[in-house]
Amino acid sequence: MNYGRTYNFSAGPAMMPEPVLEEIRDEMMNYRGSGMCVMEMSHRSKVFEEIIQEAEKDLRELMNIPDNYKVLFIQGGGTVQFAMVPMNLMKNGKACYIETGAWSKKAINEAKKYGEVIIAASSKDKNFTYIPDCSDLDIPDDADYVYICENETINGTTYYNLPNTKGKILVSDQSSMFLSRPCNVSDYGLIWAGVQKNVGPAGLAIVIIREDLIREDLPAFVPTYLSYKTHADAASLYNTPNCWAIYCCGKVFKYLKKLGGLEAMNRINEEKAAVLYDFLDNSKFFKAAVVKKDRSLMNVPFVTPSKEQDADVVAASKAAGFDNLKGHKSVGGLRASIYNAMPKEGVEALVAFLKDYEAKH
Ligand SMILES: *Cc1c(COP(=O)(O)O)cnc(C)c1O
């Protein structure tokens, strides 16, 4: 059915799969005979309990999450995790962070409130257009963890090899790449993701944490809500969670399973991103911002020869029915976010538009 929907290249909140939106629509007024919408439902009801349990079960299947990891649904989006991670994991008050762009910088600034932050590697020298070599980092013995932003949403880089943490726990912000490709969960101590980039509606973070990292002996200043133990002990139902977002995410998990899981999703994402990168690499007018080996399949920043022309392309693309192609204010240029739910036809249509623009200018 044609709903008159636009190809939305927003970095987040972003597109959701159309079949998922249709299912949600169909269940809106009366969820499976419950007589109510999920938005109206008690989080203590049996019917919601089934929704959250099934969502967790499907996510565990999709990511093959080992039994010694907890899956937590926590409010506050991604930004709350910038604080929760150091509050809960800094025992010695020291952690290593890899600085790769805007979102790792936010994590670093927040962590500094709770302890010593060591920048173990950085790509600041080249304006965050690559991922630094993390094969032999200088990591102090008493560092509590090594932290990465695995896909920098604004700068458009991603890790294809995880850092050698020298035995320390790896903590990863996967917000803008969550479920876009297979992930070996046991390589990490903690993975977290704000869901509004690649899964569902805003206002929810999913945390996957190895059980032995959940502490009882937190400093007294840590608010009850910001302790992972609070959420682990209560199976994410300590207080009213973001029921609606959990329900929508559960639908997306089922959709991904039906699609063939994360290997299948990754193949689709590789094909889709190649359409855009191949065009950019062959263009004389447009240029991709990131070095080839570290390019994100999700967020594709690119530039024209000038700021004025960047702005002109953004305006022309908007008029042609493409939305949200303006680059982030901190880096300028353009950015196409092409998450899981962006159809390949959307990227092909964008490339056809950019080709046409280039021919005319
Ligand atoms: C969007 C984003 C965040 C912050 O998410 P909020 O839910 O807006 O707080 C953190 N990290 C990354 C990589 C992001 O893309």
Tens digit of each residue's pLDDT (9 = 90 or more) over 159-201:
999 999 999 999 999 999 999 999 999 999 999 999 999 999 9
Indicate whether 123 belongs to any domain. yes
Residues 213 and 238 in one domain: yes
Do 82 and 230 lie in a common domain?
A: yes
Q: Output b/e per residue, 107-137; b: 16+ Cβ within 10 A.
A: bbebbeebbbbeebbbbeeeebbbbbebeeb
1 part of a folded domain: no
Q: Is residue 156 included in any domain, yes or no? A: yes
End residue of a domain, out of 208, 232, 258: 258
Burial of 277 (0-12, 13-18, 19+ CB in 10 A): middle
Domain carrying residue 143: 27-258
Residue 16 domain flag: no
Helix 46-63 and helix 243-259, axial crossing angle in degrees, nearest 10 = 40
Residue 295, beta-bridge partner list: 157
- CATH of residue 37's domain is 3.40.640.10
pLDDT at 9: 96
| Sign, Cα dihedral of 78, 265, 61, 257 | positive
In the chain, the number of structural domains is 2
Active-site residue, selected from the candidate residues 58, 144, 173, 294: 173
267 domain residue, yes or no: yes
Same domain assignment for residues 120 and 249: yes
Model confidence at 361, pLDDT cuts 50, 70, 90, reads: confident
Give me the pLDDT at residue 289, please: 95
**Same domain as 192, residue 249:** yes
Measured in degrees and rounded to the nearest 5, phi and psi for residue 282 equal -100, -5
3-class secondary-structure state, position 44: coil
Instruction: Report whether residue 156 contacts ligand 1, using a CB cutoff of 6 Å.
Output: no
Report whether residue 176 contacts ligand 1, using a CB cutoff of 6 Å.
yes
Identity of the residue numbered 202 = A
Ligand 1 center to residue 286 CA distance, Å? 27
CATH number at residue 273: 3.90.1150.10
Among 213, 237, 258, which residue terminates a domain?
258
242 lines ligand 1 (CB under 6 A): no
Residues 38 and 132 in one domain: yes
Residues 312-325, mean pLDDT to the nearest whole number: 94
- One DSSP character per residue, 75-123 reads ESTTHHHHHHHHHHH-SSSEEEEEE-SHHHHHHHHHHTTTSEEEEEEE-
What residues form DSSP beta bridges with 302? 288, 334
> Could you tell me the two tokens for 310?
């960047």
- Spacing, Cα 287 to ligand 1 middle (Å): 26
Q: Does the residue 236 lie in any domain?
A: yes
| Catalytic site includes residue 173 | yes
Verify whether ligand 1 is closer than 6 Å to residue 180 (CB atom).
Answer: no
- 191 and 277 inside one domain: no
Q: Is 67 a catalytic residue?
A: no
Residues 254 and 146 in one domain: yes
Confidence of residue 65 (pLDDT cuts 50, 70, 90): very high
Closest by CA position to 64, among listed 241, 196, 215, 187 = 187
Atom index in ligand 1 nearest the CA of residue 149 equals 13
Residue 103: active-site member: yes
Given the residues 103, 105, 168, 192, select the one marked as catalytic.
103
This prediction has a pTM of 0.97
Of 258, 278, 301, the domain-final residue: 258
For residue 74, give the 3-state DSSP assignment: strand
CA separation for the pair 36, 45 (Å, rounded): 12
| 113 and 253 assigned to the same domain | yes
pLDDT band at 158 (very low <50, low <70, confident <90, very high): very high
Q: 160 with 287, same domain? A: no
